[in-house]
Structure 1
């Protein structure tokens, strides 16, 4: 299978370094990749244009904002459900993060953070009341999320 974007080993190294520390300077990236700062800048610009790099993301501990609870929500829908309308509602009218269509046990999944169980329950009840929602399952996380994104394999695929 041909990759959607062509990256080489140097692009992959730049991406791995930025995953570990998105604030790494062009000079440091160049030194670690064995190329010039101008080459790094051109590669980063190309990766942005391709949509591989879309910006910097803040991953702040939720506790710093008074949000003590993190939970995954699975939503099972009935045949009458309008998925597009539900996703629009969830994005605009709730505190759900990343509500999206899923494959597996649930039709939709989302992530939510809340101050306490009562506020999480309010969010769940809002979901349950929506037309077409058959079942809502909540899994409260016992610890902080750990994405391990630095372990992502970015090795360029070879054409077969």
Structure 2
């Protein structure tokens, strides 16, 4: 019997059914999103049309969620990277706090978490002073936030995709 109070996000995400060719394609395109399909086809020993169909299928079933260019924040002057744990006054404030934080473009990631914090965010600012201004004049003004705890990133050692097996 289905619970009418549950939505799709309440169910566990099923792993997609992918084969060895899909895995090889994913390994190639996650290393270089701009690799031509014909080069992928040569590496995989199949036609360009087959690669196009496979990639389209992977997009349709949600294995691939798109492609994008990644901006280097430092090249645009965003030299301060911080992570922030957010305590809420009450759990019921979660949705409205997240909605308000969407209006702060310097917040580049937002996670609903278990443990000590209700929400954990990543924020990129130009300077420490810029970060302080956002905390004081924007974040602390959001109704439902009890307090925050900030962690400064000194350096990112690596970032990667999940392993494709």
Do both share a fold (TM > 0.5)? yes
After TM superposition, the score normalised by the length of structure 1 is 0.86
C-alpha displacement at 1:145, in angstroms? 5.9
Does residue 5 of structure 1 match 2:2? no
In structure 2, C-alpha distance between the alignment counterparts of 1:15 and 1:49, rounded to whole Å: 14
Alignment match, 1:153: 163
In 2 relative to 1, CA 89–105 (structure 1 residues): closer, same or farther, beyond 3 Å? same
In structure 2, C-alpha distance between the alignment counterparts of 1:40 and 1:131, rounded to whole Å: 49
1:13 alignment partner, SS class: helix
Does residue 113 of structure 1 match 2:140? no
RMSD: 2.0
C-alpha displacement at 1:135, in angstroms? 2.0
Q: Which string of whole-angstrom CA distances, capped at 9 and with x for unpartnered residues, describes residues 9-33 of structure 1?
A: 1111111111110011111111111
Does residue 139 of structure 1 match 2:128? no
Q: RCO (CA 8 Å, sep 6+): is it higher in 1 or 2?
A: 1
In structure 2, C-alpha distance between the alignment counterparts of 1:62 and 1:94, rounded to whole Å: 13
Q: Find the partner of 1:89 among 82, 100, 123.
A: 100
How many residue pairs get aligned? The number is 153
In structure 2, C-alpha distance between the alignment counterparts of 1:2 and 1:128, rounded to whole Å: 34
Contact 2:111–2:121 under 8 Å retained in 1? yes
Alignment match, 1:22: 33
The runs of at least 4 aligned residues of structure 1 exceeding 6 Å deviation read: none
2:102 alignment partner, SS class: helix
C-alpha displacement at 1:100, in angstroms? 2.7
C-alpha displacement at 1:154, in angstroms? 2.0
